[in-house]
Structure 1
Amino acid sequence: MTAPLTGLKVLDLATLFAGPLAATLLGDFGADVVKIEHPARPDPSRGHGPAKNGVGLWWKLLGRNKRTMTLDLSKPGGRATLLRLAAGADVIVENFRPGTLERWSLGWDELSAANPRLVLARVTAFGQFGPYARRPGFGTLAEAMSGFAAITGEPDAPPTLPPFGLADSIAGLATAYAVMTALAARDRTGTGQVVDMAIIEPILTVLGPQPIWYDQLGHVQQRTGNRSQNNAPRNTYRTADGDWVAVSTSAQSVAERVMRLVGRPELIDEPWFASGADRARHADVLDAAVGEWIAGRTRAEVLKAFEGAEAAVAPVQDVREVMTDPQYAALGTITTVPDDPDLGALRMQNVLFRLSATPGEIRWAGRPHGADTEAILTELGLTGPEIAALAAEGAL
């Protein structure tokens, strides 16, 4: 079967996470993604997190389905080569600080002149304009500015940042969607356009109705720990064997099932039990009832009882349990990439979703820095002497 994005050519000039993740998602469904890195300063994601035998493991995930080449865009030969690559590309993803490509004479005017059908995705912390546009920034700042940190954590504890690239990951997903939207528009208009993706924006969207609550009611959401302002019981609870489970009661019927299960059906008759918000205001009572019942049983007993009652529960799992979870196994969420030249067989998350007729696949894990430079330049039509001249200039 032919993958749905076969034939789409993507140049990934971005570093770290949001932009490169967008390119990874396109590559997972068949796009020909070329990762372009500085000859002496590779993408820092290659060195993030644990490594095995000197090989960065995060890069194996983020760099999958990408061919890799080196190119110094600040050199005349590097600039000319990128313009030749752009002429045959569909998408460029970049995350330089605004004005950087323009300083190298590689801005939208030059790129669109080389290829009027090109889509240029520009991923930065704050966007291409505005008072913060030229500031350095990372996803952590978006998590702080958007209001995420302000509502995360215990009420009497400091605002809490996530221990992973949450804002970057959301922006990566949004950028892949934006690129496909721009390509759909190109199918109608025949011309490409610029995607301006500010990392501070997608995370604000997924935070929900906070702006409209404040606009209409002056309501400011507070930190509530694991509890919700919209329903209860909703929390994590410790089991008799020292494990943890999470319970959610977003639906009224599920809340009633939980209270019957834990032996407190009389609470269902309380006037305040009839709505999620009113239940949330009585979370102390409900948490005590649920927590006491769960504390007297093992995790396996709790999960079995909740399943029998058709109430919503899940174990709190770390990655060890994720790797063996039967539902993830059934979905194929963790897959094996065989025959990696650096590490042999390795396991990682599969492609993001399943298509029934044209599925995506992981063709290879992240490749070494510049591994495909000569092959890509040869495909572009450069001769051996021309490649040697680029190398002599320091452009490769």
Structure 2
Amino acid sequence: MTTSAQADPAQGAPGSGPGPLRGIRVIDASTILAGPLCAQLLGDFGADVIKIEHPVAGDGMRGHGESKNGIPLWWKEISRNKRTIGLSLSDPDGAALFRRLVEDADVVVENFRPGTLERWGLGPDVLHGINPGLVLVRITGFGQTGPYASRAGFGTLAEAMSGFAHLTGEPDGPPTLPAFGLADTICGIAASSATTMALYHRERDPEHRGQVIDMNLIEPIMAAVGPSPTVYDQLGVIGHRHGNRSTNNSPRNTYRTCDGHWVAVSTSAQRIAERVLELVGHPEVVEEDWFATGGGRAAHADLLDGLVGGWIGERTREKVIAEFTAAGAAVAPVYDARDLVEDPHIRETGMLTTVEDEDFGPLLMHNVMWRMSRTPGAIRFTGRARGADTEHVLTEELGVSPGELAALRERKAVS
């Protein structure tokens, strides 16, 4: 599946994007990573997204991840479908231009520390005074209120405080953090969902009022970790690390094949567990009373891992997957990036897609995240150079004169 992306600077103007959010304007004033992902998802499904970045320093996302020829690769994806302008919100003239942008906006996404927008004269009361229908998405580490609200907040801290790190890793090893932005990513997806709910409510509200969404990094990943607070509340039980094993079922682990690869096996369903043990030549184990429940099997994980791991260790990855698939058992290879790119199912279903980029030509990236039969999203263009759309947005859409723009650039209020 290939999506063509053009370099036309006017592309992405209001109403130009296909998808259910066509005609919605989003101002992305956020950085690293949850806010930009939220805005990217909205843009993928048709919203006109205007990306605000500092006119001198640029956006911090440009410095994250690998680069090619000095051009950041992650930026190409996280800022796709976004027109970018350099605008200093801490500068009075920059803040004034921002307020003018808000007049016609539907959504603002920001992730400054609580009180920062208010200090610049851009707090919710001001923005809703300009545009009562605005949905203001405020993403912070700890939320807008509470004893930790003023602390610096990053995804790593959320991964630690949510219980994720405590439950991740080997039993005798340290708490383990992910090697990627897990908390930010989950939060960004959650924020896009909250935004569309707020837009839906606005359409049903007789006064067409927007609202403030107070989104923190901790709660979405807490939901992913599971009901451990409830378990503690009712049973006084605190979970601990199990490596790749599960407390709910077994066999569930990663196993090494004889050709040096790894596969993952899951047996969440009872019949799947039975098929796995029958496949590896131990149907007698299925007859054990303890095998009838996931908890019973989890209590015998050493035995089951030995039986399954021994069988897998004598076969190649290709053979293991073929035999598991034929038996109707659940298995998947443990992939690196090259495996993912080369997998026929990933490519043929369009989970990855190639778009045309003005710097690199054909560029492979994640496709829009879900498929919608009537209002599909699209990648209209990839992330652009800093300030690529400043002149077009400010002069054509806000009516700033060339002389005014030159003066603002001289003062570094815009770029």
Structure-1-length-normalised TM-score: 0.98
For 2:218, what is the secondary structure of its paired residue? coil
Distance 1:76 1:140 in 2: 33
Corresponding position of 2:12: none
| Kept in 2: contact 1:84–1:380 (CA 8 A) | yes
Q: Deviation per CA, 1:68-118: give whole Å up to 9, x if none.
A: 001111111111100000000000000000000111111001100110000
Q: Offset of 1:394 from its aligned partner?
A: 2.4
For residues 8-65 of structure 1, give each alpha carbon's deviation from its aligned partner in whole angstroms, at most 9, with x where no partner exists.
0000000110000000000001100000011112111101121000001111111111
4+ residue runs over 6 A deviation: none
Distance 1:367 1:270 in 2: 61
2:92 aligned to which of 57, 76, 84: 76
Q: What's 2:380 paired with? A: 363
**Which letter does structure 2 place at the counterpart of 1:366?**
G
1:341 paired residue number: 358
Query: Counterpart of 2:153?
Result: 137
Specify the SS of the correspondent of 2:58.
coil
Aligned with 1:33: secondary structure? Answer: strand
Partner residue in 1 for 2:13: none
Higher relative contact order (CA 8 A, sep 6+): 2
- Distance in 2 (CA, whole Å) between partners of 1:104 and 1:50 is 33
**Structure 1 counterpart of 2:62, one-letter code:** R
Aligned residue number for residue 123 of structure 1? 139
Pair 1:173 & 2:189 matched: yes
Matched with 2:33 is 17
What SS does structure 1 have at the residue aligned with 2:177?
coil
SS of 1:211's partner is: helix
Partner Cα distance (2:361, 2:260) in 1: 37
Partner of 1:376: 393
8 Å contact from structure 1 (residues 75, 393) kept in 2 = no
Partners of 2:315 and 2:410 lie apart in 1 by 70
CA distance in structure 2 between the aligned counterparts of 1:211 and 1:309, rounded to whole angstroms: 38
Matches within 5 A, 1:1-396: 2-189=18-205, 190-338=208-356, 340-378=357-395, 379-396=397-414
Q: How big is each residue's C-alpha offset from its partner over 1:333-370, in whole Å with a ceiling of 9 and x where there is no partner?
A: 110011x1211111000000111111111111110111
In 1, Cα distance between equivalents of 2:253 and 2:411: 60
User: What stretches of structure 2 of length at least 5 have no aligned partner?
Assistant: 1-16
Q: Give me the CA root mean square deviation.
A: 0.9
State the alpha-carbon separation in 1 of the partners of residues 76 and 109 from structure 2.
19
Q: Following TM superposition, by how much is the alpha carbon of 1:391 offset from its aligned partner in structure 2, in angstroms?
A: 2.1
Superposed displacement of residue 393, structure 1: 3.3
Any idea what SS the aligned residue of 1:69 has? strand
Contact 1:32 1:66 in 2 (8 A): yes
Q: Distance in 1 between matches of 2:225 and 2:306?
A: 28
Kindly indicate whether the alpha-carbon contact (under 8 Å) linking 1:77 and 1:393 is maintained by their aligned counterparts in 2.
no
Equivalent-residue separation in structure 2 for 1:76 and 1:284 (angstroms): 65
Secondary structure of 1:16's counterpart equals: coil
3-state DSSP of counterpart to 1:68: strand
Report percent identity of matched pairs: 60
Q: Deviations over 1:172-217 (max 9, x none)?
A: 0010001111111111221000000010111001111111111111
Aligned counterparts of 1:36 and 1:329: Cα–Cα separation in 2: 33
Q: TM-score, normalised by structure 2?
A: 0.94
Structure 1 residue matching 2:176: 3-state secondary structure: coil
Alpha-carbon distance in 2 for matches of 1:342, 1:301: 42
Deviation at 1:386, TM superposition (A): 2.5
C-alpha deviation, 1:150, in angstroms: 0.1
Return 5+ residue gaps in structure 1 as ranges: none
Aligned-pair distance for 1:388? 2.4
The answer (yes or no) to whether the contact 2:18–2:378 under 8 Å persists in 1 is: no
Output the CA distance in 2 between the equivalents of 1:380 and 1:230: 58
Q: Is the 8 A contact 1:24 1:65 kept in 2?
A: yes
Post-superposition CA distance 1:303-327 (Å, at most 9, x none): 0100110000001111101001111
Following the alignment from structure 2 to structure 1, what is the Cα–Cα distance between the partners of residues 216 and 232? 23
- Report deviation, 1:390: 2.2
Asked if structure 2 preserves the Cα contact closer than 8 Å seen for 1:228 and 1:280, the reply is: yes
> Are the aligned partners of 1:244 and 1:299 in contact in 2 as well (CA < 8 Å)?
yes
Residue identity opposite 1:345 in structure 2 = P
Q: 1:335 corresponds to which letter in structure 2?
A: T
What is the alpha-carbon distance in structure 1 between the residues aligned to residue 350 and residue 95 of structure 2? 42
Separation in structure 2 between the aligned mates of residue 319 and residue 140 of structure 1, nearest angstrom = 23
